[in-house]
């Protein structure tokens, strides 16, 4: 696959991911119920696509599965506790952790441009905590940070499997999430068709299709590319949240989000210009 095609698929993946924030908020169920059912549907879709001949048990596969479960569970929690915009912009601090760990774990060198990007992102992250937060919003921001840890870990483990089957980590991660959340699934669940249609969309499209594309592309880009090029997600996510939910960001969140996006987009543009 050519690099340009890979980058294009990463951008498409980011657009699909960006529908998650407002859709989760439209479902009036507890976060662990949503996380479990969404991943249950996604696991079925990915199994139909993947059909592994045996249970994947490699250490990198399992590491990726655990990171995936942390990412999706805390992502849903964060969306229920703070704004969709805060959640996704904080999650996109993941390039920091990928860069810090990537060289020793993957032998993928981090350059000066990457470190400048990281400074922008870190400063932007700090600004999110300067707004007048309620206790709930504060815990939502913290949950978003844990989601970003999971996101970065997933990228690293998937990239480690570039010669193997990274899709297995996503399949196992969805199964793990479903199992963790199973005790909560029958709490407050109603059988309204409109709600179940949203769960099905989240499972089939927002997770299933998006991660099938992502695991195809991850073999052809660096780990840092894989976390930076889907930057369209934190652009579209707050827009969707404003259109469908009327959510807006507070002042310092706007500034922090702008710094995160400036760092990520600027790094992407400079990397494209490289020979």
Is the pLDDT at 264 greater than 90? The verdict is: no
Site of tokens 């805060």: 86
The per-residue pLDDT for 133 is 61
Is the pLDDT at 274 greater than 60? The verdict is: no
Tell me the whole-structure pTM to 2 decimals: 0.85
Are the beta carbons of 74 and 147 closer than 8 angstroms? yes
Q: Alpha-carbon distance 113 to 82, whole Å?
A: 31
What letter would DSSP give residue 209? I
| Helix or strand run (H / E) with residue 114 | helix 112-128
Is the pLDDT at 112 greater than 60? The verdict is: yes
Kindly provide the residue ranges of all beta strands, DSSP E only, lying in the chain, ordered along the sequence: none
36-45, 160-169, 234-243: which is most confident = 36-45
The per-residue pLDDT for 275 is 46
Q: Alpha-carbon distance 275 to 31, whole Å?
A: 45
181, two tokens: 């959340």
Rounded average pLDDT over 57-70: 92
The per-residue pLDDT for 113 is 76
Torsion from C-alpha of 215, 217, 219, 225, nearest 10 degrees: -110
The per-residue pLDDT for 258 is 83
Q: Which of 20, 28, 38, 35 is nearest to 241 (CA)?
A: 20
Cα-flanking dihedrals φ and ψ of residue 104, to 5°? -70, -30
CA distances in angstroms from 265 to 15, 97, 262, listed in the order given = 15, 17, 5
Q: Which of 70, 63, 98 is nearest to 168 (CA)?
A: 63
pLDDT tens per residue, range 22-46 = 999 999 999 999 999 999 999 999 9
Is the pLDDT at 271 greater than 70? The verdict is: no
The per-residue pLDDT for 63 is 94
Are the beta carbons of 165 and 108 closer than 8 angstroms? no
270, two tokens: 């400079």
The per-residue pLDDT for 24 is 95
Is the pLDDT at 175 greater than 90? The verdict is: yes
What letter would DSSP give residue 29? S
High-pLDDT (> 70) share of the chain, %:
91
Q: Which residues contact 49 (CB under 8 A, 6 or more apart)?
A: 167, 208, 212
Is the pLDDT at 159 greater than 70? The verdict is: yes
pLDDT tens per residue, range 64-84 = 999 999 999 999 999 999 888
- More reliable by pLDDT, 232 or 63: 63
Is the pLDDT at 47 greater than 90? The verdict is: yes
Q: Which of 4, 11, 27, 31 is nearest to 199 (CA)?
A: 27
**Mean pLDDT across the chain:** 85
């Amino acid at each position: 696959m050519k690099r340009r095609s890979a980058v294009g698929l990463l951008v498409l993946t980011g657009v699909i991911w960006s529908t998650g924030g407002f859709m989760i908020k439209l479902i009036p169920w507890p976060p662990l119920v949503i996380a479990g059912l969404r991943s249950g549907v996604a696991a079925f879709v990915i199994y139909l696509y993947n059909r592994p001949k045996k249970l994947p048990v490699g250490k990198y596969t399992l590491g990726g599965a655990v990171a995936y479960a942390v990412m999706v569970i805390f992502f849903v929690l964060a969306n229920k506790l703070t704004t969709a915009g805060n959640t996704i912009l904080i999650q996109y601090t993941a390039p920091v952790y990928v860069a810090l760990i990537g060289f020793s774990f993957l032998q993928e060198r981090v350059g000066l441009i990457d470190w400048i990007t990281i400074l922008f992102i870190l400063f932007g992250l700090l600004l999110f905590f300067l707004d007048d937060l309620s206790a709930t919003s504060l815990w939502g921001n913290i949950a978003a940070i844990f989601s970003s840890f999971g996101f970065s870990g997933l990228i690293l483990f998937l990239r480690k499997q570039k010669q193997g089957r990274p899709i297995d980590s996503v399949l196992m991660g969805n199964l793990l999430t479903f199992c963790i959340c199973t005790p909560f699934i029958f709490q407050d669940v109603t059988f309204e068709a409109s709600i179940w249609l949203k769960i099905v969309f989240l499972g089939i499209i927002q997770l299933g299709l998006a991660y099938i594309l992502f695991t195809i592309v991850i073999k052809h880009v660096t780990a840092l590319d894989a976390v930076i090029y889907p930057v369209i997600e934190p652009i579209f996510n707050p827009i969707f949240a404003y259109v469908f939910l009327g959510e807006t960001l507070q002042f310092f969140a706007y500034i922090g989000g702008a710094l995160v996006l400036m760092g990520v987009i600027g790094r992407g543009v400079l990397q494209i210009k490289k020979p």
